[in-house]
Amino acid sequence: MCQLILDLDDHLLAKAEAVAVTQHTTVTTLIQNFLESLPSGPSNQSAHAAQRLQATFAKYSRDMGERRWTRESLYER
């Protein structure tokens, strides 16, 4: 285990201590839990974003029927 020294504003430390009291824990444990909850790397964030995007596509995609047009016909004058 290693030590970490933080410079915190008195108001911020008091806020953290109040939260720790309501959760029956310590400020150190709050910080440890927060750090453990961080993603291990950008690949996790990218994978999660891709999963959310896939879910959105699956939820909102609609069958538009057979395509009866061509690019050229759209731009005919």
Tell me: the pLDDT tens digits for 26-52?
999 999 999 888 877 666 778 888 899
pTM metric for this prediction: 0.51
Residue 59 forms part of a structural domain: no
Q: Decide if 63 is inside a domain.
A: no
pLDDT at 68: 86
Which range of residues forms the domain containing residue 43? 7-53
Q: Count up the domains in the chain and report the number.
A: 1
The reported pLDDT for the residue numbered 37 is 85
Q: Of the ranges 24-28, 55-59, 62-66, which one carries the lowest mean pLDDT score?
A: 62-66
Quick check: is 18 in a domain? Answer: yes
Residues contacting 29, CB < 8 A, separation 6+: 20
User: Considering the domain boundaries, does residue 48 fall inside one?
Assistant: yes
Q: Is residue 33 part of a domain?
A: yes
User: How far lies 72's CA from each of 30, 53, 64, 67, in Å?
Assistant: 62, 31, 20, 13
Average pLDDT of the chain is 88
pLDDT of 32 reads: 93
Residue 13, in any domain of the structure: yes
